[in-house]
């Protein structure tokens, strides 16, 4: 697999799966204004995944959708951190959001320095959107930092941030649901 | 000046109430800080609250399909659609709150079953065919009612209806795109669409409610609604049955036809089913209200931590 | 806290009231306003204002009918006809 794909797939998979997990809150977030806001964050993440997949797909002779949906579970490169199903725990959800954005800032920052101008260009665009996510995460952190359950959640999740390896059973379930319509009629256009 | 129809309120109307009635019937617009009869305010709250409830409950049948969307584009479009619906409920409940009923109370009444939401959101979604049919036909039925509400006598509600109708137009486009793609696809995909149409037809025909003559409908008298139920249904059929038929799809009603006067004839919708469903006995009512109750309980601490503070 | 939101659809246009959001503070209000009234690119700018900063006035006094403020306070037609007659410049058929 090309160097570019190797570099981009873990990030794309993280964004896809995190976006998927965050969109599980759509319609049931703590209050309506936040429901709308958090849904935008989830959409942005999936949008980032799509753009990253598109870049990788060029190298691999495939399409973004095929990369997103048509791989076997063991071929995905997402971290265990993003796979965790956290609904309806808002403390853990925001803790993950906060920790992920911190870690992702470093990762995207490195991509912005890439010799590959397409990668660097896309990374800059993603970073400009992620700036808003970081603002949102900080806003929530400031509000919840006096809540013991939130601090506990941050402490509990922090060690998991960059853990990659075998996927959890949760991921297999996620993959099953994510691909069920697509697999129902093989090769169809939707 | 023409004498205007007097609403039977079960008692005498005061002169002030009569003036108000004449005002709205002549096209007058009411703002939040204006005086309004108690009955007008009560009817308004109930009507608008039901709309807010419906937008919020409408999210639940669709949100599962976000997770199952078969392409990234569909996933994004569907997430955006559902997000719009949450946004609509936010706008609508704000209007209700400014009329005097707090949002928390609305949500409590929704979850306890005390207040209602539209029939269509009590039914299950079974396939990706439903995703297309809901966005195309159910949203179409809703938008017909919503366009009529642009003329609501209560101005804050009429104003948010503009934004709501604008956003709903995207939903219908999305729905049509999903359906057309499937109809141009495989036999299995076409079958998914037909099967969904067959299942949703009954609830769609009940959606606009049983026809009430305008003179017996207080909602019309107060100009909260400006369109009768029968008229809305005719508009729906006129707009969408041709769209259904031109794709080679059938409608499961052998009596459905447009007569020589341009009026659509159809089998009488099942009004018992409608009543049964909106009073909380739909196939998915319990489960969906249960989900709302659980997530609301689990996130109560968030609202206390974040919203309960003094200004 | 309730924040009122005014939106500008295109540069040069007036800001119009769009609706309101509930938020604990300004930072949240900004986020929510941007989302509720701008996520589909329908606005180029927003004003986000705490509700208590907005005061409505709907009483305007004109007991003595100040017609000098209105167009009907300036009946020019007759005077113009008279002036043209005096100057010998007959009024044209169409004004």
Residue B235 pLDDT exceeds 60:
yes
A120 vs A113: CA distance, rounded Å: 6
A135 close to C (CB below 8 A): yes
B167 close to C (CB below 8 A): yes
Structure token pair of residue B65? 């399909």
- Chain C positions touching B163 (Cβ under 8 A) are 18-19
Give C33 to chain B, closest Cα distance, Å.
11
- Chain B positions touching C54 (Cβ under 8 A) are none
C28 vs A140: CA distance, rounded Å: 9
* Chains adjacent to C (≥3 CB pairs closer than 8 angstroms): A, B
- Cβ proximity of A153 and A86 under 8 Å: no
Structure token pair of residue B141? 């039925």
What Rg do the C-alpha atoms of chain C give, in angstroms? 25
Q: List C-alpha distances in Å: B87 to A31, A132, A185, B61, B204.
A: 11, 19, 34, 16, 24
Query: What percent of chain B is predicted at pLDDT more than 90?
Result: 91
DSSP B7: P
Give B307 to chain C, closest Cα distance, Å.
5
Which pairing describes strands C16-22 and C45-50: parallel, antiparallel, or unpaired? unpaired
Closest in C24, C28, C35 to A36, CB measured: C35
What Rg do the C-alpha atoms of chain A give, in angstroms? 17
Q: Is C22 within 8 Å of A37 when comparing Cβ atoms?
A: no
Which stretches in chain C have pLDDT values below 50? 94-95
- Helix residue ranges, H only, B113-228: 128-133, 139-148, 155-183, 187-207, 218-221
Q: List C-alpha distances in Å: B150 to A36, B154, C50.
A: 24, 10, 27
Give B12 to chain A, closest Cα distance, Å.
41
Establish if B27 belongs to a structural domain: no
The count of residues in chain A is 190
A145 close to C (CB below 8 A): no
The whole-number pLDDT of residue B2 equals: 42
> Residue B11 — pLDDT band, cuts 50, 70, 90?
low
> Residue B3 — pLDDT band, cuts 50, 70, 90?
very low
The dihedrals phi and psi of A69, each to the nearest 5 degrees, come to: -120, -25
Q: What is the DSSP string of C63-78?
A: TT--GGGSGGG---HH
The count of residues in chain B is 311
Question: In this predicted complex, what is the ipTM?
Answer: 0.95
Residue B132 pLDDT exceeds 80:
yes
| Sole residue written with tokens 């609509």 | B88
- Chain A positions touching C40 (Cβ under 8 A) are none
Give A171 to chain B, closest Cα distance, Å.
13
B63 vs B48: CA distance, rounded Å: 23
Average pLDDT over residues A77-97: 96
C25 vs C29: CA distance, rounded Å: 6
The whole-number pLDDT of residue C66 equals: 82
Residue B78 pLDDT exceeds 80:
yes
B85 vs B57: CA distance, rounded Å: 9
Q: What is the pLDDT of residues B43-54, one digit of tens each?
A: 999 999 999 999
Beta bridge partners of B258: B264
Query: What percent of chain B is predicted at pLDDT more than 70?
Result: 95
Q: Whole-prediction pTM value? A: 0.91
- Chain A positions touching C22 (Cβ under 8 A) are 31, 33
Q: List C-alpha distances in Å: B170 to A21, B57, B80, B259.
A: 25, 19, 10, 32
B55, B92, B306, B311: best to mutate for the C interface, most C CBs within 10 A: B311
Q: Closest by alpha carbon to C5, among C13, C31, C24?
A: C31
| All domains of chain A in start order, with CATH | 3-184 (1.20.1260.10)
- Those residues whose C-beta lies under 8 Å from the C-beta of residue C74, and which sit 6 or more positions away, are none
The whole-number pLDDT of residue A45 equals: 97
The count of residues in chain C is 95
Q: Give all strands of the β-sheet with C2-8 in edge-to-edge order.
A: C16-22, C2-8, C45-50
- Chain B positions touching A53 (Cβ under 8 A) are 72
A44 vs A30: CA distance, rounded Å: 20
Which pairing describes strands B257-258 and B264-265: parallel, antiparallel, or unpaired? antiparallel
C27, C29, C48: best to mutate for the A interface, most A CBs within 10 A: C27
> How many other C-beta atoms are found inside a 10 Å radius of the C-beta of residue A37?
23
Structure token pair of residue B26? 């002549």
Name the residue of chain B whose CA is nearest to C32's CA: B87
Q: Is C32 within 8 Å of A36 when comparing Cβ atoms?
A: yes
The whole-number pLDDT of residue B309 equals: 57
Collapsing DSSP states into helix, strand and coil, what is residue C3?
strand
Establish if B299 belongs to a structural domain: no
Residue B238 pLDDT exceeds 50:
yes
The whole-number pLDDT of residue B191 equals: 97
Q: Closest by alpha carbon to C19, among B52, B258, B58, B164?
A: B164
Q: Closest by alpha carbon to A13, among A72, A96, A82, A109?
A: A82
Per DSSP (E only), the strands in A36-189 are none
Phi/psi region, residue B27 (left: phi>0; alpha: psi -120 to 50; beta: rest), is left
Q: List C-alpha distances in Å: C45 to B1, C19, C41, C54.
A: 46, 14, 10, 19
The whole-number pLDDT of residue B47 equals: 96
Task: Identify the CATH assignment for C2-53 out of 3.40.50, 1.10.287, 3.10.20, 1.10.3470.
Answer: 3.10.20
B61 vs B81: CA distance, rounded Å: 12
C6, C17, C24: best to mutate for the B interface, most B CBs within 10 A: C24
Residues of C with CB under 8 A from a CB of B: 1-2, 18-22, 24, 28, 35-36, 39-40, 42, 50, 52, 56, 58
CA A99 centroid distance within chain: 12
* Chains adjacent to A (≥3 CB pairs closer than 8 angstroms): B, C
Q: What is the number of structural domains in chain B?
A: 1
In our burial notation (b when 16+ CB lie closer than 10 A, e otherwise), range B227-250 reads bbbbebbbbbbeebbeebeebebe
Q: Give me the domain span that covers residue B120.
A: 38-206+217-293
Stretch 188-247 of chain B: residues touching chain C, C-beta under 8 Å: none
> How many other C-beta atoms are found inside a 10 Å radius of the C-beta of residue A29?
24
Average pLDDT over residues A7-23: 96
Q: Is A180 within 8 Å of B299 when comparing Cβ atoms?
A: no
A36 vs C39: CA distance, rounded Å: 10
Q: Is A65 within 8 Å of B71 when comparing Cβ atoms?
A: yes
Structure token pair of residue B29? 């617009």
- Chain A positions touching B130 (Cβ under 8 A) are none
The enclosing domain of B85 has a CATH number of 1.20.1260.10
Establish if B18 belongs to a structural domain: no
B110 vs B292: CA distance, rounded Å: 9
- Cβ proximity of B208 and B120 under 8 Å: no
The dihedrals phi and psi of C45, each to the nearest 5 degrees, come to: -160, 155
Structure token pair of residue B1? 């000046």
B302 close to C (CB below 8 A): no
B66 close to A (CB below 8 A): yes
Collapsing DSSP states into helix, strand and coil, what is residue A77?
coil
Structure token pair of residue B215? 């003179």
DSSP B279: I
Residue B270 pLDDT exceeds 90:
yes
- Chain C positions touching B170 (Cβ under 8 A) are 40
Average pLDDT over residues B188-199: 97
- Cβ proximity of A179 and A67 under 8 Å: no
A29, A33, A132: best to mutate for the C interface, most C CBs within 10 A: A33
Establish if B311 belongs to a structural domain: no
The whole-number pLDDT of residue B8 equals: 52
């Amino acid at each position: 697999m090309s160097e570019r794909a190797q570099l981009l797939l873990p990030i794309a998979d993280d964004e896809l799966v995190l976006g998927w997990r965050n969109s599980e809150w759509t319609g049931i977030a703590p209050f309506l204004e936040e429901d709308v806001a958090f849904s935008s964050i989830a959409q942005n993440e999936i949008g980032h995944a799509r753009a990253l997949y598109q870049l990788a797909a060029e190298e691999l002779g495939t399409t973004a959708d095929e990369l997103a949906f048509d791989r076997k579970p063991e071929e995905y490169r997402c971290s265990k951190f993003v796979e965790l199903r956290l609904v309806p725990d808002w403390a853990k959800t925001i803790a993950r959001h906060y920790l992920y954005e911190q870690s992702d800032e470093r990762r995207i920052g490195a991509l912005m320095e890439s010799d590959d101008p397409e990668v660097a260009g896309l990374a800059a665009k993603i970073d400009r959107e992620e700036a808003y996510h970081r603002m949102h995460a900080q806003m929530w952190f400031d509000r919840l930092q006096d809540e013991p359950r939130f601090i506990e959640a941050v402490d509990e999740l922090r060690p998991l941030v960059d853990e990659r390896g075998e996927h959890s059973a949760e991921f297999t379930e996620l993959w099953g649901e994510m691909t069920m319509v697509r697999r129902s009629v093989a090769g169809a256009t939707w | 000046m023409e004498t205007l129809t007097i609403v039977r309120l079960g008692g005498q109307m005061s002169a002030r109430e009569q003036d108000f009635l004449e005002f709205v019937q002549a096209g007058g617009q009411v703002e939040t800080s204006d005086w309004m009869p108690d009955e007008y305010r009560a009817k308004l709250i109930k009507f608008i609250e039901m709309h807010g409830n419906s937008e919020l409950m409408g999210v639940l049948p669709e949100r599962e399909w976000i997770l199952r969307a078969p392409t990234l584009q569909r996933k994004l479009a569907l997430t955006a659609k559902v997000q719009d619906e949450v946004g609509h409920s936010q706008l609508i409940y704000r209007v209700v709150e400014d009329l005097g009923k707090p949002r928390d109370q609305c949500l409590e009444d929704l979850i306890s079953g005390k207040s209602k939401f539209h029939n269509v959101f009590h039914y299950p979604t079974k396939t990706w065919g439903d995703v297309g049919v809901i966005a195309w036909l159910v949203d179409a039925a809703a938008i017909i009612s919503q366009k009529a509400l642009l003329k609501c006598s209560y101005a804050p509600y009429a104003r948010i209806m503009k934004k709501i109708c604008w956003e709903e137009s995207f939903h219908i486009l999305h729905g049509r795109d999903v359906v057309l793609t499937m109809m141009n696809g495989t036999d299995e995909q076409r079958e998914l669409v037909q099967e969904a149409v067959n299942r949703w037809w009954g609830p769609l025909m009940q959606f606009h409610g049983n026809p009430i003559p305008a003179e017996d409908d207080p909602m019309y008298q107060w100009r909260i609604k400006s369109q009768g139920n029968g008229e809305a249904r005719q508009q729906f059929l006129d707009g969408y049955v041709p769209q259904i038929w031109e794709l080679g799809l059938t409608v499961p009603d052998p009596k459905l036809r447009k007569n020589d006067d341009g009026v659509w004839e159809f089998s009488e919708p099942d009004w018992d089913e409608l009543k049964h469903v909106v009073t909380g006995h739909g196939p998915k009512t319990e489960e969906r209200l249960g989900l709302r109750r659980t997530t609301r309980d689990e996130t109560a601490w968030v609202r206390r931590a974040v919203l309960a503070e003094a200004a | 806290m309730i924040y009122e939101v005014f939106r500008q659809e295109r540069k040069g246009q007036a800001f119009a009231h769009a609706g309101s959001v509930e938020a604990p503070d300004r930072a949240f209000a900004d986020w929510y306003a941007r989302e509720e009234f701008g996520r589909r690119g329908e606005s180029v700018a927003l004003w986000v204002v705490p509700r208590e900063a907005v005061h409505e006035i709907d009483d305007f006094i004109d007991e003595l009918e100040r017609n000098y403020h209105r167009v009907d306070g300036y009946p020019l037609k007759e005077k113009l006809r008279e002036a043209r007659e005096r100057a010998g410049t007959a009024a044209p058929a169409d004004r």
